[in-house]
């Protein structure tokens, strides 16, 4: 696997290929990321991943500084699943001047749920994803694919929306969340958990699954649904979590259900110092 750092080196490395299949990441890779690469492989004539911890999507009080940087181990893991090319820019490579232009996502999708608790987060995500797409796909001739995990459900919807609204010729592929045998969604942030927190962490998935079961019967009864959401949050809080939201939404636009549409349950909660998110389609 070839590793490149600058945009120029990336474009040069991609020149012989027509149809890149791309997996953007922030590194500290786990089996979930490797599954994205496996899914990307048959989609193009070159499979590439990026590793870039994007300062723009972290608030000043968040974990940008302590986010694990494990480039050597990540590169070995990517090579092990047949990734052809790794783009690992420095901040200077990707943002040689302050990134004044930003991609402002639509408030109705970006300012709810994660966006309510992490203001500006999705602007940072959409801006870097747009920039990475320009770096990777600008000279592509064949079909372009980018692969994202469904764990970041709202992010995936926003990126689909970005591609649609800017008419980017890129197919976005969503891959089901990978889980540990006890049901915890794989996440780089799981590495922050102590042994006791790790044992507790699966409770977020269990609470969301229970909420999903209840939601099936109460989707068109707003009061009943809100009661179930509040009860799920209280149950987690009673175990020592600080829940931000556990919510039943329409899959298509993450608005509260009206009845009859496909649903998803989404949640975010802090366990000690670690904020975890998860989701299940109902």
* Maximum CA extent, the chain: 58
Residue 244 near ligand PAF by CB under 6 A: no
Reduced to 3 states, what is the DSSP secondary structure of residue 19? coil
Q: How far apart are CA 70 and CA 35, in angstroms?
A: 18
Quickly tell me which residue has 């987690």 as its tokens: 236
Q: Would residue 145 show up in a list of annotated catalytic residues for this protein? A: no
Dihedral sign of CA atoms 139, 145, 151, 157 in order: positive
DSSP states along 232-247: HHHHHHHTT-EEEEEE
Convert residues 188-217 into a mask of x (bound to ligand PAF by CB under 6 A) and - (unbound): ------------------------------
Quickly tell me which residue has 């976005």 as its tokens: 172
- We find the least distance from the C-beta atom of residue 222 to ligand PAF, in angstroms, to be 31
Residue 162 near ligand PAF by CB under 6 A: no
- We find the least distance from the C-beta atom of residue 121 to ligand PAF, in angstroms, to be 9
| Residue 228 φ then ψ, to 5° | -60, -40
Q: At what angle do helices 121-137 and 7-14 cross, to 10 degrees?
A: 50
Q: How far apart are CA 25 and CA 22, in angstroms?
A: 10
Among 21, 128, 157, 246, binds ligand PAF (CB under 6 A): 128
Convert residues 17-46 into a mask of x (bound to ligand PAF by CB under 6 A) and - (unbound): -------xxx--------------------
Structure tokens at 251: 């899959």
Among 48, 125, 146, 204, binds ligand PAF (CB under 6 A): 125
- We find the least distance from the C-beta atom of residue 6 to ligand PAF, in angstroms, to be 18
Structure tokens at 219: 């989707």
Catalytic residue among 5, 30, 33, 227: 33
Q: Given the rule CB under 6 A, which of 123-131, 205-213, 244-252, 274-282 is the region that contacts ligand PAF? A: 123-131
Residue 150 near ligand PAF by CB under 6 A: no
Q: How far apart are CA 78 and CA 86, in angstroms?
A: 8
Pick from 135, 126, 138, 136: nearest CA to 163: 126
User: Alpha carbon 114 to chain centroid distance?
Assistant: 11
Write out the binding residues for ligand PAF, residues 77-106 only, by CB under 6 A: none
Which CB sits closer to ligand PAF, 155 or 203?
155
Using CB under 6 A as the binding criterion, the count of chain residues that bind ligand PAF stands at 10
- We find the least distance from the C-beta atom of residue 221 to ligand PAF, in angstroms, to be 34
- We find the least distance from the C-beta atom of residue 203 to ligand PAF, in angstroms, to be 23
Residue 152 near ligand PAF by CB under 6 A: yes
Output the CA–CA distances (angstroms, integers) from residue 91 to 87, 97, 131, in the order listed.
12, 10, 13
Q: How far apart are CA 141 and CA 190, in angstroms?
A: 39
Residue 129 near ligand PAF by CB under 6 A: yes
- We find the least distance from the C-beta atom of residue 163 to ligand PAF, in angstroms, to be 13
Which CB sits closer to ligand PAF, 26 or 78?
26
Pick from 83, 121, 118, 82: nearest CA to 105: 121
Among 54, 150, 203, 279, binds ligand PAF (CB under 6 A): 54
Which CB sits closer to ligand PAF, 131 or 249?
131
Active-site residue list:
33
- Which residues make up the interface to ligand PAF (CB under 6 A)? 24-26, 54, 57, 125, 128-129, 152, 155
């Amino acid at each position: 696997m070839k590793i490149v750092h600058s945009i120029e080196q990336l474009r040069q490395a991609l020149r012989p290929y027509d149809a890149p299949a791309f997996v953007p990441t922030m590194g500290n890779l786990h089996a979930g990321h490797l599954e994205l690469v496996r899914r990307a492989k048959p989609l193009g004539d070159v499979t590439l991943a990026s590793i870039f911890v994007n300062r723009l999507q972290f608030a000043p009080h968040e974990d940008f500084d302590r986010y694990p940087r494990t480039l050597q181990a990540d590169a070995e893991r990517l090579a092990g699943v047949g990734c052809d090319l790794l783009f690992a820019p420095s901040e200077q490579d990707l943002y040689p001047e302050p990134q004044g232009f930003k991609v402002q996502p639509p408030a109705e999708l970006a300012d709810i749920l994660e966006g309510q608790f992490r203001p500006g987060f999705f602007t940072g995500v959409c801006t870097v994803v747009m920039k990475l797409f320009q770096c990777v796909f600008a000279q592509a001739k064949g079909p372009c694919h980018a692969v994202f995990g469904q764990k970041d459900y709202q992010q995936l919807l926003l990126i689909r929306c970005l591609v649609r609204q800017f008419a980017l010729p890129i197919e976005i592929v969503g891959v089901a969340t990978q889980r540990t045998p006890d049901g915890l969604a794989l996440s780089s942030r799981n590495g922050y958990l102590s042994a006791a927190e790790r044992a507790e962490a699966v409770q977020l998935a269990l609470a969301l699954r229970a909420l999903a079961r209840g939601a099936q019967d109460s989707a068109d009864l707003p009061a009943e649904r809100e009661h179930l959401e509040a009860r799920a949050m209280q149950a987690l809080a009673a175990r020592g979590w600080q829940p931000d939201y556990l919510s039943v939404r329409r899959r298509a636009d993450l608005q509260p259900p009206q009845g009859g549409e496909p649903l998803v349950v989404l949640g975010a909660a802090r366990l000690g110092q670690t904020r975890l998110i998860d989701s299940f389609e109902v």
